[in-house]
C-alpha cells in the first residue's frame, strides 16, 4: 500500500450545511443524540465519504493522536485507582504493568481506536506499520502479537490483574510482619511430634510465623497484602498507619473518631475496634488455621488461600467498623 503523508489539519473537512447526511446535520447543529460521538473529543474514526479511502496519517500524526488518547486513559485510570473502584478480581484493561482501567471506561474512551491504541502503546507502530493504520485486521494482529510475545507489562485485556490498593496505604503490611518477626521469640510447635500431615504443615507454619530475627514467610506477606487490597475495594477514605508498637491502625477520613488496630502473631490476626481512643467492643481473632480446608465446590483450599481468607476477613472487619455508615 502506498504511504500518504497527509497533514490532517490541512484537510478541508467542511460539510455542506444543507446536506441531510449525519455529517451534514452535525455541521448545521442538528445532530441527534444517537449520532453524537460516544466520547467528547474522541477522534473521528470514519471517513467523511465512505466511497473514498481514508488518508493514511504520518507516524508523527499517529503519535500525537495516540498520546492524547493515552493521557485521557491514564487520567481515568488514576481516578479509578484513587477511588478504589476496580475490584481486584474484575476483568479490566492493563495500560502497563501497574496501571489498570475498567473495561467500560477503556471501551468508551478508546472506541474504534482500541486495537490501534494497544498496538501503539506496545511499541508496534513504525513507519511500515503506519501504512496499515486504517486496516483493522493488521492492527488487531500487531496488538495480539505484542501481547503474546511480551513479558507481562503490555497493554492488554486481563482477568488476573495485580492491582494493589495496599501499596497506597501509609503503613505497608510487609513492614509490619517483618517488625513482628524481629520482635517475636522463637517458638511454635514441635514439627516432629506424631500427627497427620496437615498438623505437621500447620506446626511448620507456626515455626515460620514465630521465628525470631528472620523475615516472615513470603506467603504471609503476600496473603496480608492481597487480603488488605481486597478489603480496601470501594473504600477510598481508608488508610493504614502504624502505632508506636508496630501494630497496623486502620482509620478513615469519613469517621476520624473511629479506629481499629490490626496485629499478626503466630498465624493469627487480632482486630480491636476503638471509638474516641477507647476500645468499644471485644477483640476479634482470625487464624488461617481455622479456615476450612474444604471449599464449597468440593475442592481443597490451599494454605495460601486459607492465609488470604484470614487476612481478608480481619481487614474487612476493621474497615467495616471505621468506614461503616
Q: Are 266 and 311 within one domain?
A: yes
Percent of the chain with pLDDT over 70: 73
Burial class (CB in 10 A: 0-12, 13-18, 19+), 263: buried
- Structure-block grid coordinates of residue 228: 488488605
Domain count, the chain: 2
Tell me whether residue 102 is in a domain.
yes
Tell me whether residue 13 is in a domain.
yes
Q: Are 66 and 149 within one domain?
A: yes
Per-residue model confidence (pLDDT) at position 162:
80
pLDDT over 60 (residue 4): no
- In this prediction, residue 325 has a pLDDT band, given cuts at 50, 70 and 90, of low
- Least confident window among 19-28, 80-89, 108-117, 178-187: 19-28
Q: Are 95 and 240 within one domain?
A: no
How many angstroms separate the CA atoms of 116 and 136, rounded? 8
- Structure-block grid coordinates of residue 298: 468440593
Q: Which residues contact 203 (CB under 8 A, 6 or more apart)?
A: 188, 189, 190, 191, 193, 195
Per-residue model confidence (pLDDT) at position 295:
85
**pLDDT tens-digit readout, 203-231:** 444 444 444 334 457 889 999 999 999 99
Q: Are 170 and 318 within one domain?
A: yes
Tell me whether residue 194 is in a domain.
yes
Give the closest residue to 173 by CA, choosing from 222, 100, 243, 121: 222
- Structure-block grid coordinates of residue 30: 442538528
pLDDT over 80 (residue 286): yes
Per-residue model confidence (pLDDT) at position 51:
57
- In this prediction, residue 29 has a pLDDT band, given cuts at 50, 70 and 90, of very low
Per-residue model confidence (pLDDT) at position 42:
39
- The stretch 269-290 carries a mean pLDDT of 96
Percent of the chain with pLDDT over 90: 63
Pairing of strands 92-96, 156-158: antiparallel
- In this prediction, residue 37 has a pLDDT band, given cuts at 50, 70 and 90, of very low
Per DSSP, what are the bridge partners of residue 158?
92
* Cβ proximity of 259 and 178 under 8 Å: no
Per-residue model confidence (pLDDT) at position 272:
98
Per-residue model confidence (pLDDT) at position 181:
83
Q: Which residue has the cell 488461617?
A: 288
Q: Are 129 and 178 within one domain?
A: no
Tell me whether residue 3 is in a domain.
no
How many angstroms separate the CA atoms of 198 and 2, rounded? 68
**pLDDT tens-digit readout, 227-249:** 999 999 999 999 999 999 999 99
Q: Which residues contact 49 (CB under 8 A, 6 or more apart)?
A: none
Per-residue model confidence (pLDDT) at position 41:
38
* Cβ proximity of 170 and 239 under 8 Å: yes
Domain with 222, as residue range(s), is 166-323
Give the 3-state secondary structure of residue 251.
Answer: strand
pLDDT over 90 (residue 67): yes
Instruction: Report the chain's mean pLDDT, rounded to a whole number.
Output: 80
* Cβ proximity of 177 and 150 under 8 Å: no
Residue ending a domain, choose from 158, 188, 219 = 158
- Structure-block grid coordinates of residue 37: 460521538
The stretches of the chain forming alpha helices (DSSP H) are 22-27, 59-83, 103-110, 114-121, 127-130, 136-148, 173-183, 197-210, 218-231, 303-323
Residue bearing the bigger pLDDT, 276 or 24: 276
- Structure-block grid coordinates of residue 19: 446536506
pLDDT over 70 (residue 89): yes
Q: Which residues contact 165 (CB under 8 A, 6 or more apart)?
A: 81, 84, 88, 228, 229, 232, 233
Q: Are 82 and 123 within one domain?
A: yes
Give the chain's radius of gyration (CA, Å): 27
Q: Are 315 and 176 within one domain?
A: yes
Give the closest residue to 96 by CA, choosing from 57, 147, 47, 134: 147
Neighbours of 177 (CB within 10 A): 24
Q: Are 135 and 269 within one domain?
A: no
**pLDDT tens-digit readout, 133-182:** 999 999 999 999 999 999 889 999 987 568 999 999 999 999 999 988 88
Q: Are 241 and 298 within one domain?
A: yes
Per-residue model confidence (pLDDT) at position 309:
96
Q: Are 198 and 313 within one domain?
A: yes
How many angstroms separate the CA atoms of 187 and 31, rounded? 75
Q: Are 171 and 317 within one domain?
A: yes
**pLDDT tens-digit readout, 189-198:** 333 223 334 4
pLDDT over 50 (residue 27): no
Per-residue model confidence (pLDDT) at position 248:
97
Tell me whether residue 205 is in a domain.
yes
Of 54-58, 202-206, 283-287, give the range with the top mean pLDDT: 283-287
DSSP 290: G
Residue ending a domain, choose from 158, 189, 217 = 158
Tell me whether residue 47 is in a domain.
no
Residue ending a domain, choose from 107, 135, 158 = 158
Tell me whether residue 113 is in a domain.
yes
Q: Are 315 and 177 within one domain?
A: yes
pLDDT over 70 (residue 26): no
Amino acid at each position: 500500500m502506498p504511504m500518504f503523508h497527509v497533514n490532517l489539519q490541512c484537510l478541508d473537512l467542511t460539510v455542506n450545511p444543507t446536506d441531510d447526511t449525519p455529517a451534514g446535520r452535525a455541521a448545521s447543529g442538528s445532530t441527534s443524540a444517537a449520532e453524537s460521538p460516544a466520547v467528547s473529543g474522541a477522534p473521528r474514526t470514519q471517513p467523511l465519504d465512505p466511497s473514498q479511502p481514508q488518508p493514511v496519517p504520518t507516524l508523527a500524526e499517529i503519535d500525537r493522536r495516540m498520546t492524547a488518547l493515552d493521557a485521557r486513559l491514564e487520567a481515568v485510570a488514576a481516578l479509578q485507582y484513587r477511588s478504589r473502584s476496580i475490584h481486584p478480581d474484575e476483568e479490566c484493561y492493563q495500560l502497563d504493568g501497574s496501571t489498570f482501567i475498567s473495561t467500560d471506561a477503556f471501551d468508551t474512551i478508546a472506541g474504534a481506536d482500541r486495537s490501534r491504541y494497544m498496538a501503539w502503546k506496545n511499541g508496534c507502530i513504525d513507519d511500515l506499520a503506519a501504512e496499515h493504520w486504517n486496516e483493522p485486521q493488521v492492527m488487531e494482529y500487531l496488538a495480539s502479537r505484542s501481547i503474546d510475545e511480551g513479558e507481562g507489562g503490555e497493554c492488554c485485556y486481563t482477568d488476573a490483574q495485580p492491582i494493589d490498593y495496599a501499596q497506597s496505604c501509609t503503613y505497608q503490611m510487609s513492614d509490619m510482619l517483618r517488625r513482628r518477626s524481629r520482635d517475636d521469640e522463637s517458638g511454635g510447635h514441635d514439627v516432629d511430634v506424631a500427627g497427620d500431615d496437615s498438623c505437621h504443615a500447620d506446626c511448620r507454619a507456626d515455626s515460620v510465623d514465630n521465628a525470631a530475627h528472620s523475615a516472615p514467610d513470603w506467603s504471609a506477606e503476600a496473603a496480608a497484602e492481597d487480603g488488605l487490597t481486597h478489603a480496601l475495594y470501594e473504600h477510598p477514605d481508608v488508610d493504614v498507619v502504624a502505632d508506636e508498637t508496630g501494630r497496623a491502625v486502620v482509620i478513615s477520613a469519613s469517621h476520624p473518631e473511629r479506629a481499629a488496630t490490626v496485629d499478626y502473631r503466630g498465624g493469627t490476626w487480632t482486630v480491636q475496634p476503638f471509638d474516641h481512643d477507647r476500645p468499644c467492643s471485644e477483640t476479634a481473632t482470625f487464624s488461617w488455621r481455622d479456615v476450612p480446608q474444604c471449599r464449597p465446590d468440593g475442592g481443597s483450599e490451599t494454605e495460601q488461600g486459607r492465609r488470604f481468607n484470614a487476612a481478608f476477613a480481619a481487614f474487612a472487619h476493621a474497615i467495616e467498623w471505621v468506614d461503616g455508615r
